């Protein structure tokens, strides 16, 4: 048996809607792959999902991703998967993508690494389609590769790895709420005013430049989302107060992670991320009684990897 871990990811990163994402060191999902009799893939067990996920391979991101991998390999070998969910569903931190990535990494290792990361990425994206109806490389790419990733194109997949400034850390607050990706996307509509688009492009370009130059002041100025955040902020109780608390505590920037409800803050060091996270949690608790979980981590450079259980 082979076990693989894939981490939580933050997508959009404020100004990079649908094109920018980064990985955390933890938390994440683990998928175990084992040989099975008969061809194809089966899901033998799912743990940590509260019984919500389907074991139907066509509807499960891990199963669909592995099915795509086996089809590309034209193999008759059978694989059985056990999925351990360490990430909450509909949380905005790449839960479905992490399962897909961990699954293909585990199976690729089980089969003695017949394909490279480019094929694994495409197969994980196919898993995302099964899980949520669309491929989102801004989640699966950083989960697979680690660090910051820019998804230049979906079809064909074209991703660019970006540098991670030393010490860059993240506080991630997950309110115990669910936000369905489709619902959150419907809030955005189909058009963006030209002035907003130009401002967003400028911020994204500056953020990429800041990563290359380790310019934290520029990074902070760039983390402004004028496209998605204003329309989705109402999904999270007290969002703007939480964001201001993070900034007052020294965070470089703060926004929704993916489509929410999770909120992330980037900071120059792990200590500053801890301070921002504590402030975020205090303020959120004052605005809502649903509770929230806080994770503080360096930006993860490793991405998905084989692990020993």
Which are the catalytic amino acids? 128, 181
How many Å apart are CA 202 and CA 32, to the nearest integer? 42
String of DSSP letters for the chain? -EEEEEEEEEESTTT-TTTEEEEEEEEEEEEEEEEESSSEEEEEEEESSTT-S---TTT-HHHHHHHHHHHHHT---EEEEEEE--S-TTSSS-HHHHHHHHHHHHHHHHTT--S-HHHHHHHHHHHHHHHHSS--HHHHHHHHH-SEEEEEETTTTEEEEE---TT-EEEEEEES----HHHHHHTT-S---HHHHHHHHHHHHHHHHHHHHT-HHHHHHH---SSSHHHHGGGSTTHHHHHHHHHHTT-SEEEESTTSS-EEEEESSHHHHHHHHHHHHHHHHHH-SS-EEEEEEEBPSS-SEEE--
The encoded tokens of residue 181 equal 């990706």
Beta bridge partners of 256: 263
The position carrying tokens 């608390």 is 245
Q: Which residues contact 205 (CB under 8 A, 6 or more apart)?
A: none
The encoded tokens of residue 157 equal 């997949």
The encoded tokens of residue 289 equal 């009684």
Cβ–Cβ < 8 Å for 28, 87: yes
The position carrying tokens 């994402």 is 21
């Amino acid at each position: 048996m082979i076990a693989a871990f894939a981490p939580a990811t933050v997508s959009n990163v404020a100004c990079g809607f649908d094109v920018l994402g980064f990985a955390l060191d933890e938390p994440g999902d683990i998928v175990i792959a084992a040989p099975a009799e008969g061809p194809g893939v089966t899901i033998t067990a799912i743990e940590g999902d509260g019984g919500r996920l389907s074991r139907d391979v066509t509807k499960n991101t891990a199963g669909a991703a592995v099915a795509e991998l086996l089809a590309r390999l034209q193999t008759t070998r059978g694989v059985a998967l056990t999925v351990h969910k360490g990430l909450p569903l509909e949380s905005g931190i790449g839960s479905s993508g992490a399962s897909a990535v961990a699954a293909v990494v585990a199976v690729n290792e089980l089969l003695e690494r017949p394909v490279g990361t480019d094929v694994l990425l495409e197969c994980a994206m196919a898993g995302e389609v099964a899980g949520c109806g669309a491929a989102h490389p801004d989640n699966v790419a950083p989960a697979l590769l680690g660090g910051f990733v820019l998804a230049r194109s979906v079809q064909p997949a074209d991703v660019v790895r970006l540098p991670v400034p030393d010490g860059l850390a993240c506080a991630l607050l997950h309110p115990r709420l669910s936000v369905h990706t489709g619902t959150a996307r419907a809030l955005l509509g189909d058009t963006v005013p030209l002035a907003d688009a130009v401002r967003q492009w400028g911020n994204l370009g500056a953020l990429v430049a800041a990563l290359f130059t380790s310019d934290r002041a520029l990074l902070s100025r760039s983390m402004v989302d004028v496209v998605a955040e204003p329309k989705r902020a109402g999904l999270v109780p007290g969002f703007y107060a939480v964001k201001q608390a993070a900034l007052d505590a020294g965070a470089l920037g703060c926004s929704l992670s993916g489509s929410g409800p999770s909120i992330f803050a980037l900071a120059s060091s792990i200590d500053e991320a801890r301070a921002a996270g504590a402030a975020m949690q205090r303020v959120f608790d004052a605005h809502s009684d649903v509770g929230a979980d806080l994770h503080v981590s360096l930006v993860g450079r490793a991405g998905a990897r084989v692990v020993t259980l």
